[in-house]
Structure 1
Amino acid sequence: MSTLVSNRRSRPHADTDPAADWAALGACVGRLQAFQASEDQARAICASCPVNLRCLDEALREEGTAAPSYRSDIRGGLTPHQRAALSGYERPKAPTGGRITGDLDEAERLLRGGSLSDEKVSTATGVGRHSVSKLRRDLGLPTQVDLRGAAPAERLAHRTRPGQDGHLLWTGDEATVIAGRRVKGIRLAFELGYGRLPEGSVKRTCDVYPCVAWQHLTDRPMRDALAAAAPPPPAVPAPVEYLYELWDANWDDGPLGNYEIRRHPITKKTNLRIAFTFMGKASYVDRQRIEADGEVYHRRLRRLLYLAPPELPTRPEPAALQTLRQAMADAHPDRGGTDTAFMAAHAAYQRARRSAGAQR
């Protein structure tokens, strides 16, 4: 008997490694979404493919004489039924003296799966019980194994088949009945592999469904232990933002005084405010105003705060600017002035600075 493809929903060579062989020349390479959009579109792509005959030959070799239900997708420009007819597949005949009702192709697929009883195949497909039994014999499949009273290990062996890379694949329904109790295959495999009942849910560590290899299964305590042993992700410090202040340690030094830029960390931003710390104490400024003007005078702290680092004075100012700057210094609240007077002097000084810069 020819070997059947292991995955009923096999895909065309659009899903293979394009660098492997002839499949790299296929017209469907890189166009899998378009290929699977509709049967007509897939056949149109195959019609212009330079290796469609090679693709068809590969499909016939893989699928052998399998029934159409074991084939899928357009391959080599042909549908599953067309490829089945080309391969010499013959649909099993109806039992003598009657006509088979129900889905015979589906019945064959379930019987070849080897996991369902004749009764369950009959119920699932509508094919009569005796017809299913005869179909099993005509296909050359082994007779049913009576697993009533069988040991759990025997049931596991009967309901699984080996897969690639150490996977053990559960076949048929996801559960089996042991001593009158319905047990999921994944829990049965865990119990037999680890020699104990699982605690909590059993999950796979691999991404292969329906793998039940016990080495690939974990219960809740095992997952908790793995999570506790895993190193914590590295902490990424959040970027720190600041408000800035141009500080002159001595107002009497003139325009080339002892200047420095002080930073005050921003702790939070809202639509209306920017919160920051000043000498360890929390404070805030009007966000809309400082973002519009680039600066704001803080009345309580008596400080002029900037959104970006201000420029340090690097050369002497003109006499007119020095006069305005001195007037601003004299109006500062620390020297007996008032907030209103300082802000007015500062505004006059800034206008003069901008005007002087534009003239230069």
Structure 2
Amino acid sequence: MSTLVSNRRSRPHADTDPATNWAEHGLCVRKARDFHASEVRALVICEACPVRLRCLSEALREEGLAAPSYRSEIRGGLTAFERAVLSGWKRPTAPTGGRASGDMDKAEELLRTGTLTDLEVADATGVSRQTVGKLRRALGLSSPVDLRGATPQERIAQRTRPGQDGHLLWTGDESTAIGGRRVKGVRLAFEVGYGRLPEGSVKRTCDVYPCVAWQHLTDRPMREALAAATPPAPAVPAPVEYLYELWDANWDDGPLGNYELRRHPITKKTNLRISFTYMGKASYVDRQRIEAEGEIYHRRLRRLLYLAPPELPARPEPASLQTLRQAMAAAHPDRGGTDAAFMTAHAAYQQARRRAGA
């Protein structure tokens, strides 16, 4: 049997010697999610990693002559099997013939010792792990405690490191071998934390990858119960912002100065522009300028727009009908006035009469 591998790992995203910082330069630190997505992606990332050779050297030193099943999947750009062969490990030769390949007698002998897992027996005898499992059940033997990870609690302690704000970060491969089976870190942490097997997929309630704190994990029934107990939040309309304009209500009907305040909804803000709608049509203004000056003249719309509501100018005092009548009479051509002056005075007089209801 080969020497069991310790849990210290050379991967940059796993526990490393605090006195060195080479691991911080590994590409798998910045691309952890892609690294764990598939073996192909991991190999591509390792190929361009500046510390690949250092990572491989540390992996070979730590793993020794261990069989592939004792090693993590991709380290230093090589698979577990490739590193095992590079270290000098040789697969046990399996005799030909018989009902199954491998040394079945040796497998039975090792199983009866009660100290080796199915993977360990398979590596030592050349018998497939599935056949070893069938043989164990036929002999009526139970699975021993996994010597490589001891209890599930100890395995979690070996494969995790504390994070900030109560997070517990899983290191290395997403799954681990324990009790003769491979299980994902999130499922193992769920089983230990809640004391039961999860139903359905296990998901994180936090957005920290790869956190396996059991308080942050849920299975399908827990998510369904939470959804049923949590009423939907009421929809809160987003606050509407506006650009403002002073509008003269009398611009086409008599003297100017009867101002109203108009609002134009803002639809979007960027670093350079403020987009808004003007009478149902989209437009925009220079954001930096209007925020610096508080107002801006829109050339296409020919309007002066404000960032904040401006004060309404005071309305001019209406002239009395008598004063307007006198001004109209004085502007008459028979009294020395002009036709244009008389028409202007007459229009002002008629407008005042309409407003007064005369």
Q: What range describes the TM-score normalised by the shorter chain of this pair?
A: 0.3 to 0.5
Provide TM-score, normalisation by structure 1.
Answer: 0.39
Provide TM-score, normalisation by structure 2.
Answer: 0.39
